[in-house]
A = this chain, B = another copy of it.
Amino acid sequence: MTERQTGDVSKYWSPTARSIEPYTPGEQPRDRRYIKLNTNESPYPPAPAVLEAIGRAADESLRLYPDPECEDFRTTVGRYFGLQGDQVFPGNGSDELLAFAYFAFFDPDAAEPILFPDITYSFFPVYASLFRIPFERVPLREDFSIPLEPFCRPNGGIVLANPNAPTGMCLSIDAVRSILEGNGNRVVIVDEAYIDFGGDTAAGLVPEFPNLLVIHTLSKSRSLAGLRVAYALGQAELIEGINRIKNSINSYTLDRLALAGATAAMKEESYYREMRGKITATRERVTGALVDMGFTVVPSRANFIFTSHPTEPAGSLFSSLRELGILVRYFNLPRIDNHLRVTIGTDAEMDAFLAALKRLV
């Protein structure tokens, strides 16, 4: 999922810049028009009120700095979850929030490594390398489910994606609770980028667990990947820790337009509920169709599915789909190099995807 970028090492680079292996995001094609099922964007537009709010904010006040505290947005998010504004930390996408959280909570000199699954969001080990935090990968079970006990052994912190990526599998709230209880002295980061597509958020556990940091993004379920807004939820003490890192890097990570659009998006619940309903209905229909075609499909609570075919190698399916104008994501990595991750698009896009597969298998 990551690959070393090409090019010689420069004498001007720091040891960190030399040694890291940066994350490689999914392709954003420029050469032709694809059916784009590779980066888990929503196929549906943002709520109209979001675009209106951005239009209103695009005036001459852009000459002024944004609110560095993002007060309106934090209050709005807090209200949405029944939390206080100081239990919310806004960021420029969940990737930035994860980076800040690693920096704020994990100790490079800790005796024990931080833990995350061997199959999970491929940015997790990148942050650990960047900040020189020792880490260990906990193997998922054979069916890609997350075992609980290994996450309760001595560690320097826990990072989980829930639902997990790229599998789409979801931990129950009881499972999350047991991991929190087993790690009272360590921060547990739960990256819930895909939680709105069928999982139960751990946001409600924030008042109970001072070691819990939940991270949400507006990129997926709120159709705003292009706006770069996410937020973390946690007790004020954790939020203040991230804030200290952020205020040592960039006072203003969210521009006025992003703040306006994101604040509006948090108030458009019925619109977004309807869009999520469409996406999950399509997901179930496509899952059924794939199973009928002989594919195995990991049970997904996300806006993507993780699937493999008993005879057609995923790598060649990936290439053939690309030639047919359909982009999906393929990770050439141990244990998952025979799977494809396919974003749920519109019904028409998924029909085209299924039709293409029928030609290929």
How many copies of this chain? 2
Give Cα distance in the complex from A13 to B157, angstroms. Answer: 11
For residue A57, give the distance in angstroms from its CB to the closest CB of chain B: 8
User: Chain B contacts of A249 at CB under 8 A?
Assistant: 95-96, 99, 127, 130
Q: Would you call A219 and B60 a contact (CB within 8 A)?
A: no
Give Cα distance in the complex from A59 to B187, angstroms. Answer: 39
| A window 231-284: CB within 8 A of B | 237-238, 240-241, 243-258, 261
Q: Would you call A241 and B185 a contact (CB within 8 A)?
A: no
For the A-B complex with A41-B63, A62-B261, A65-B219 known, give 8 more contacts whose Cβ atoms are closer than 8 Å: A12-B187, A13-B241, A17-B105, A17-B241, A58-B257, A65-B225, A93-B251, A96-B250
Q: For the complex, is A301 an interface residue (Cβ under 8 Å from B)?
A: no
User: Chain B contacts of A129 at CB under 8 A?
Assistant: 248
Closest Cβ neighbor of A211 among chain B residues: B12
Q: For the complex, is A55 an interface residue (Cβ under 8 Å from B)?
A: yes
Total A residues in contact with B, Cβ cutoff 8 Å: 90
Give Cα distance in the complex from A105 to B15, angstroms. Answer: 8
Give Cα distance in the complex from A250 to B22, angstroms. Answer: 10
Q: Which single member of B66, B106, B130 contacts A248 (CB below 8 Å)?
A: B130
Q: Would you call B63 and A14 a contact (CB within 8 A)?
A: no
Q: Which single member of B11, B63, B250 contacts A92 (CB below 8 Å)?
A: B250
The 10 closest A-B pairs by CB, nearest first: A45-B60, A22-B247, A226-B256, A62-B226, A25-B251, A63-B223, A228-B255, A96-B250, A99-B249, A65-B225
Closest Cβ neighbor of A42 among chain B residues: B63
User: Chain B contacts of A61 at CB under 8 A?
Assistant: 226
Q: For the complex, is A224 an interface residue (Cβ under 8 Å from B)?
A: yes
Report whether over half of chain A's contact residues are helix, strand or loop; otherwise say mixed: loop
Q: Would you call A15 and B109 a contact (CB within 8 A)?
A: yes
For residue A357, give the distance in angstroms from its CB to the closest CB of chain B: 24
For residue A217, give the distance in angstroms from its CB to the closest CB of chain B: 11
Closest Cβ neighbor of A95 among chain B residues: B250
Q: Would you call B250 and A66 a contact (CB within 8 A)?
A: no
Give Cα distance in the complex from A109 to B20, angstroms. Answer: 17
Closest Cβ neighbor of A51 among chain B residues: B58
Q: Would you call B64 and A12 a contact (CB within 8 A)?
A: no
Q: Would you call B93 and A62 a contact (CB within 8 A)?
A: no
Give Cα distance in the complex from A137 to B187, angstroms. Answer: 36
- Map CB proximity to B onto A202-240 as digits: 1 under 8 Å, 0 otherwise: 000000001100000001000111111000000001101
User: Chain B contacts of A43 at CB under 8 A?
Assistant: 63
